[in-house]
Amino acid sequence: MLPEANRIKRTPQSVSHLTLALQCGGSDGYSGITANPALGVAADLLVKKGGSSILSETPEIYGAEHLLINRANSQETADKLMERLKWWKNYTSINNSTMDNNPAPGNKRGGLTTILEKSLGAVAKGGKSILEDVLEYAEPLKNKGFNFMDSPGYDPVSVTGQVASGANVICFTTGRGSCFGCKPVPSLKLSTNTAMYKKMEEDMDVNCGTIAEGKEDIDKVGNRIFELVVNTASGNKSKSEINGYGDEEFNPWQVGVVM
């Protein structure tokens, strides 16, 4: 395949060919008020220009699913989302867990007290666009615009599914400093707070902490994220690519308990 791949040349293309994977990991108390809503603005800008975005991590929308259902393009789409949540409730119960369990220890240390807090912040990554479809894990994207893909909350598994569905750029918000690369798709890390960004500037692509500091508003940072997404798709390297991260992140949904 390499000779064929090496013959491919870059040409000017519409941003409508971009599909953005919306992802968060190592969240903190700032995630829902800085990086996640700013990413939502960027996702909406892409959708308005004919592109697509994919939100996932079904256990991490629990308690905030009404915010997506109210934006569904049809009752059928809303029912598909509810069916996935019903499946997860059964999946967790037969494995001696519950959907309303507390967030991970790192999330707690970051300031999140309940899964509902995390869910409200996580849904903000999807912006305000109409929900066009609900996909099974790794199901190819069929409808342009904002989509939801069923997946566990475990980041590598979730992102692997999004890439299989057609995502060609990843935006990964983090407050605790997740260094998530993903070959062959560039992964842009969005820091939720300035303190962490300054400590990990070699790994973080955007500092959204300026929102909490009052230096920028959500729309301005969202526009910066959108421009970075376009520039990255045009060939500019993400911090993950510069550092050579991403070889180990291919992680399909395994048989067994994966939350």
Q: What is the pLDDT of residue 175?
A: 93
CA dist 206 and 186 (Å) reads 14
pLDDT digits (tens, 9 = 90+) for 125-152: 999 999 999 999 999 999 999 999 999 9
pLDDT for the residue numbered 118: 67
Report the SS3 class of residue 59. helix
Distance (Å) of CA 71 to CA 11, 89, 128, 192: 35, 22, 8, 26
Here the tokens at position 147 are 């989509």
- Block means of pLDDT (10 residues each) for the chain, 259 residues, are 93 97 90 96 98 95 93 98 95 80 59 65 94 98 98 94 98 92 94 97 97 98 98 96 91 79
Instruction: Tell me the domain boundaries of the chain.
Output: 17-243
Q: Please state which of the four CATH numbers 3.10.450, 3.40.50, 2.60.120, 3.40.630 is assigned to the domain occupying 17-243.
A: 3.40.50
| DSSP state string for 62-76 | TT-HHHHHTTBSSHH
Residue 92: per-residue pLDDT: 86
According to the model, what pLDDT value does residue 78 have? 98
The alpha carbon of 241 is separated from its chain's Cα centroid by a whole number of angstroms, namely: 18
Taking a C-beta distance cutoff of 8 angstroms, is the pair 214, 208 a contact?
no
For residue range 26-47, what is the model confidence (pLDDT) as tens digits? 888 899 999 999 999 999 999 9
Q: How would you classify the pairing of strands 169-174 and 145-149? A: unpaired
Between helices 35-48 and 218-233, what is the axis angle to 10°? 60
pLDDT confidence of residue 113: 58
Confidence at residue 112, expressed as pLDDT on a 0 to 100 scale: 57
Q: Which parts of the chain are beta strand (E)?
A: 19-24, 52-55, 131-135, 145-149, 169-174, 187-191, 206-207
